[in-house]
Amino acid sequence: AFCVAQDFDFFYFVQQWPGSYCDTDQGCCYPSNGKPASDFGIHGLWPTNNDGSYPSNCDSSNPFDISKISDLVSRMEQDWPSLACPSSSGTTFWSHEWEKHGTCSESILDQHGYFKSALDLKDNLDLLQILQSAGIQAGGGSYSLSSIKNAIESAIGSTPWIECNTDGSGNSQLYQIYICVDASASNIIECPVMQTGKCSSSVQFPSF
Ligand code: 5GP
Ligand code: 5GP
Ligand code: 5GP
């Protein structure tokens, strides 16, 4: 294969609810610098094609290099914490996301641009506030999937995709929110294709 950046059509910008990542049989570990804020955190910015397929691991010659994003690290620690075990500073997660996904949009965004774009998208998209304003709070209660989707759609003008996972008792809970953005990673767009996977019609929103 040649070292050519692959094409893609748009990004999924994916945020995770830490309470739902932690509230599973597998559990979680807080980052080495302590419990993250009670807020959605970034999972990733994933180049995807209009038919739902996606490129991955596009350029092994361009590995994650934290020195390229040293000015962004404090924002990353705040907005892109890793909850996987064992506890880490986040660099393993960021490195995985860059190498699997970021290298597939490197013709458009270099490492600094990739991470800065994700951070800026999050700054302009306060999902927790959007949900709170619609009366949807992270307190262990349940809400209809459609009320969650409608609240976000009314606020941002495009339909999100909701991914659920299940807690130890088998309850469907709000795990990740997918927002589609254009290939420049700056404008929210209507999703060309949605994900698959089930939520119950009523989903829990655990506290964190
Ligand atoms: P899962 O199997 O949990 O849905 O996804 C596992 C991983 O596959 C995700 O964390 C992400 O790295 C990747 N992935 C899943 N769906 C998509 C997609 O539609 N686009 C891209 N680019 N990556 C995806
Ligand atoms: P994906 O391929 O699903 O984008 O990447 C998920 C990978 O990142 C998994 O190997 C997972 O263990 C690791 N990871 C590290 N921290 C986190 C986290 O906070 N959330 C999720 N979903 N995955 C994490
Ligand atoms: P519709 O969008 O036509 O109301 O939904 C069709 C099916 O997809 C329904 O079973 C609905 O529960 C499911 N669905 C719709 N939106 C989402 C979503 O954001 N996440 C998940 N997991 N399922 C969804």
Q: Supply φ then ψ for residue 74, to 5 degrees.
A: -70, -35
Q: What is the Cα–Cα distance from 199 to 29, expressed in whole angstroms?
A: 25
Clarify whether 43 is annotated catalytic.
yes
Q: Which atom of ligand 2 is nearest to the CA of 14?
A: 4
| pTM of the predicted model as reported, rounded to 2 decimal places | 0.95
Question: Any idea what DSSP says for residue 200?
Answer: -
21 lines ligand 2 (CB under 6 A): yes
Counting ligand 2 atoms within 8 A of each CB, the residue from 56, 95, 96, 174 with the most, and so the one to mutate, is 96
**pLDDT of amino acid 1:** 44
Distances in whole angstroms, Cα of residue 95 to Cα of each of 35, 64, 69, 92, 117: 21, 5, 12, 5, 16
Distance 102 CA to ligand 3 centre (A): 28
Clarify whether 153 is annotated catalytic.
no
**pLDDT of amino acid 7:** 86
10-204: CATH superfamily: Ribonuclease T2-like (3.90.730.10)
Q: Which atom of ligand 2 is nearest to the CA of 176?
A: 22
Q: Which atom of ligand 3 is nearest to the CA of 199?
A: 22
Distance 48 CA to ligand 3 centre (A): 20
54 lines ligand 1 (CB under 6 A): yes
Counting ligand 2 atoms within 8 A of each CB, the residue from 43, 100, 173 with the most, and so the one to mutate, is 43
93 lines ligand 2 (CB under 6 A): yes
Helix (H, G, I), strand (E, B) or coil at 202: strand
* Crossing angle (nearest 10°) for helices 111-123 and 91-100: 110
**pLDDT of amino acid 100:** 98
pLDDT averaged over consecutive 10-residue blocks of the chain (208 residues)?
67 98 96 96 98 96 98 98 96 98 97 98 97 98 98 98 96 98 97 94 97
Distances in whole angstroms, Cα of residue 42 to Cα of each of 5, 61, 83, 115, 170: 24, 25, 11, 10, 25
